[in-house]
Amino acid sequence: MTENANNGWKLLTLVGPDRAGIVAEVSRVLFGAGAALGEASMMRLGGVFTIMLMVRMPESVVDLKGLLESVRNEFKLRVHVDEVSAGLHRHVDPDVQITVHGADRAGIVSEVTGALALAGLNILNLRSDVAGSREKPIYIMTIEGVAQQGIEALEQAVSRLSPDMRVTLSPIDIVRG
């Protein structure tokens, strides 16, 4: 696919109970319809599986949701489609990773991401999980992003965060081949 052929991308989002075969069936139906697939993010969160997938369909397919109706029914998925101004080869590499560990409590994500945003972090990926036990849950968050105002600004921001959190900031060296 050429760069000037990036018009017509849609962002397909599917959400439903986790079950083996979802990715295989979605990709089989899309391939069968002649779809081009771009960037994708697929993950399981709390027993729920979600897919976000850039899709470009041939002009003969006007209803992406309708195309996936049998898959939606079989896997009990919710389907959402957005028209997007997107294209291939627009990937942005993160230059910093921040890891946060702390006793699980309301407001951790807001506190951390707010401080990082003020220090110029453009968040590209954020993953979180709760570990520990029901009695003593530990919140773990990993953020990758671009330090638009430099690593030092982020270091200053995390140094002012609540002392009940352990925050690690690590530069990411990108190796290009």
CA 48, CA 81: separation in Å to the nearest integer? Answer: 19
Full domain range(s) for residue 15: 9-83
Does residue 57 contact residue 33 with C-beta atoms inside 8 Å? yes
31 and 64 assigned to the same domain: yes
Question: Domain tally for the chain?
Answer: 2
Question: pLDDT at position 90, please?
Answer: 73
Question: pLDDT at position 176, please?
Answer: 60
What is the residue whose two structure tokens read 């697929």? 42
CA 133, CA 44: separation in Å to the nearest integer? Answer: 20
Tell which of 83, 117, 141 closes a domain: 83
Tell which of 43, 60, 83 closes a domain: 83
Measure CA of the first residue to CA of the last residue in the chain; give whole Å: 21
Burial of 38 (0-12, 13-18, 19+ CB in 10 A): buried
Question: pLDDT at position 171, please?
Answer: 94
- CATH number of the CATH domain containing 22: 3.30.70.260
What string of pLDDT tens digits covers the 177 residues of the chain?
A: 444 344 789 999 999 999 999 999 999 999 999 999 999 999 999 899 999 999 998 876 778 999 999 999 999 999 999 988 876 777 788 999 999 999 999 999 999 999 999 999 999 999 999 999 999 999 999 999 999 999 999 999 999 999 999 999 999 987 665
Q: Measuring CA to CA, how many Å separate 109 from each of 23, 39, 100, 126?
A: 30, 26, 10, 10
Question: pLDDT at position 3, please?
Answer: 40
108 and 79 assigned to the same domain: no
Does residue 11 contact residue 82 with C-beta atoms inside 8 Å? yes
| Amino acid in position 3 | E
CA 139, CA 141: separation in Å to the nearest integer? Answer: 7
Question: pLDDT at position 145, please?
Answer: 97
The predicted model scores a pTM of: 0.79
Domain-located, residue 74: yes
What is the residue whose two structure tokens read 């083996």? 20
